Amino acid sequence: MLRVASLCVLLAWLVLGVPVAKEKQKVLLISFDGFRWDYDRDVDTPNLDQMAKDGVKAQYVTPPYLTVTSPTHFTLLTGRYIENHGVIHNMWFNTATSEKKGYYQTQFVNEWWDNGTLPIWITAQRQGLKAGSLHFPGTASSYQGEVAMVREVEPSFYNYSNEAFWYENTDKVMSWFRDQDLDFVSLYFGEPDMTGHKYGPDSPERREMVKQVDRAVGYIRNSAEKHGLTKQLNIIMTADHGMTTIFRGPDVEEIVLSKIPGFSFSDVSFQLLDYGPSGMLLPKPGKLETIYTALKGAHPNLHVYKKEEMPEHLHFSNNDRILPIVLWTDPGFVLNGVRVYLPVQFNKGEHGFDNQEMDMKPFFRAVGPAFHQNLEVGPFETVNIYPLMCHILGIQPEVNDGQLSVTQHMLVTSKQTTQPEVTNLSAASSSQSEISEIPEIP
């Protein structure tokens, strides 16, 4: 009888591709903020390369628009486009009082985040799992009165580039998995975004920061092994957006709204400008057409839309928080409200552009017992990462805009050969090789 049962299990594995022995699966979602899809092309990245051989690498992934930190991270947590989850900007704002809060302060405005869409932490916990988050955008908020059961919010004025902090946070998260038996954790690193902003994506400083990221990748995988998690833990590594170089100099025709004929800020009730390449305007009653007509076509690198006429691929119109006029620029340009003598924006690199621009695309890696080894896949949208994580965890997802079918071919339970846009990486490794240049864990 035992022999018959064993044969049945083996047959199921051969036919369905289901592992014979399946341990409880855990998921670690990691974001390296601003890690553009091609940042590993001009830097030696042995650990990211090894992760691709041991797991899955996507050519690139497409974030939702608006391509800034909080909205795109909340898409990772919910699988919803930004117009659907409602975290439409890094900044909370009040159009009646003209009050605005910066990125860090907005983390603590509960109603900005808790507006009907549940992040994966809450969904997992409601279905009997344990979830945690360290520094991930949205961690500080509660959702329908619930929070991630283990969480840590970054301190104010946090040093995102401190490599020692990265290793401390990594070991902390691994101990959550091992000692508190968490099933899901989201972990956030604020680089290479900060370096890309300050020095530009083509700078030697950015390349050095990518080397630091690569060392961290090796450390993360080594820490997972030392904590005894390799048979259970699936690591999904991606970013919120990419980065592009900003044009400066006397030959650049800057976009300054106050200099555009026919446009006046006296017609504007509220504005969200001088924040990279994107902006929104709330016209005073009866002034929408006046503002729209003045701005539309006023600069060859400025895009102006009434929110209901926004391009469909952006999914950025169907939300009351989105203001009636939405503006964004072509890559290389930033949007200025009033520029008198000195520039308001000093960054050499920026994001926030159309999500179809290649410089806005992030990277993607995944490794662990649920994933194929040595597999490269074609591009996909980041809304599809949420249903993938829910599937691995064995939980029922909330309503979302992603599809499991887009990513399921990455999993060992799928038939790899029947899936589109899949190619094997060269120099395949039959087993998980030694990870390169990993800092030692004390």
Q: Which residues are catalytic?
A: 69
Q: Tokens in use for 18?
A: 């289901």
Q: Tokens in use for 114?
A: 């808790």
CA separation for the pair 433, 410 (Å, rounded)? 20
DSSP output for 158-189:
--TT-HHHHHHHHHHHHHHHHHS--SEEEEEE
- Reference 64, options 403, 399, 354; nearest CA is 354
85 Cβ contact partners less than 8 Å away, ≥ 6 residues apart: 71, 74, 75, 78, 115, 117
CA separation for the pair 427, 257 (Å, rounded)? 53
- Reference 160, options 104, 105, 119; nearest CA is 104
Q: Is the dihedral of CA 62, 66, 69, 70 positive or negative?
A: negative
Biggest alpha carbon–alpha carbon distance for the chain:
86
Q: Tokens in use for 393?
A: 């965890």
CB atoms within 10 A of CB 49: 18
CA separation for the pair 259, 217 (Å, rounded)? 47
